[in-house]
Structure 1
Amino acid sequence: MEVLAANNLSRSLPTPFNMLRKLAIQVNLKYQRQAYVVMLLLKRCPYLQELYVALHGMDTHYLEEPYPEYSDIDEPFCCLDACLEEVWLSNFMGFDCEVEFAKFIIANAGVLKRITILGNVRDDLKAALESIQKASSYACINFKF
């Protein structure tokens, strides 16, 4: 992730990854560059069915930059509309940037069957995530410690 972000390749991944069905990434969402690369990868993987995100490097330091407003992204996410069925978010600490990413997935993944959030999630965050209007009527949110 840092290599893509540091070299500005995140702005111009030239071709879609049409054969990619599963993607596992390690990312620090507090850095806008890395969050942007995650969004770009979702756009460039139109047939992605499973997404595994290992969140790392989260701490109590201030954000380098504000995290992206996922709702402001105007390009289509084909995988969210038609293919993405399963998402795993591990090392979830409940930081705003992590919660916003989870909300974005829940609210936009039209065929999502399950999102599993691994970490020590506070009850108020569980309630907030469960109350989001889901794009998929089949979506199930699992919390595991």
Structure 2
Amino acid sequence: MKNMRKYASLDDPTECLDLHLKKVALKVYYGRGIEVDFARFFVLNARVLERMEFGLVQEYDDKWRANQNMQLQLEDRASRDAHFEFKRFSWTSFKDYKKHTHDLSMPDPFGASFFDGYVNL
């Protein structure tokens, strides 16, 4: 038992949300149903969140954005410093992104060009 590895306790499974999670990116986001529930979970629980990005597939207007702000409960966010960006998704960048996710020799196969191909709205 002397050489046994010690792992972080699972007594508090939300420790990552409380202390570590700073960036969330939803690469493809339609803003409906369980997708909104999933995103809202991070909005309301990630206490050190700095940035959350939503890759939008469809066009949207100010009314849609206001509705999303309400559904996601951005006013009640856990991190007062969090910034939320809705960006238009580029299908060509998604194809390139998928190629890299299997190359685990890269330092960060998911983040190498993660936000490339987005257009700020």
- TM bracket (short chain): 0.5 to 0.7
Deviations 1:21-47 (A, max 9, x none): xxxxxxxxxxxxxxxxxxxxxxx7xxx
Which one of the candidate residues 21, 32, 35 is aligned to 1:84?
A: 21
SS at match of 1:101: helix
Q: State TM-score, norm by structure 1.
A: 0.45
| Structure 2 contact 17–46 (Cα < 8 Å) conserved | yes
Query: Which blocks of at least 5 consecutive residues in structure 2 are unaligned?
Result: 1-5, 89-121
Q: Does 1:136 align with 2:79?
A: yes
Percent identical pairs in the alignment equals 32
Describe the shift of the 1:105–1:99 C-alpha distance in structure 2 as closer, same or farther (beyond 3 A). Answer: same
How far the C-alpha of 1:94 sits from its partner, in A, is 1.6
Structure 1 unaligned regions, length at least 5? 1-14, 19-43, 45-74
1:84-114 per-position Cα deviation (integer Å, ceiling 9, x unaligned): 0000001111221110011000000000000
Tell me how many residue pairs correspond in the alignment. Answer: 77
Matched residue of 1:90: which SS?
Answer: strand
Structure (1 or 2) with the larger CA radius of gyration = 2
Runs of 4+ in 1 over 6 A off after TM superposition: none
- Quick check: 1:99 aligned with 2:36? yes
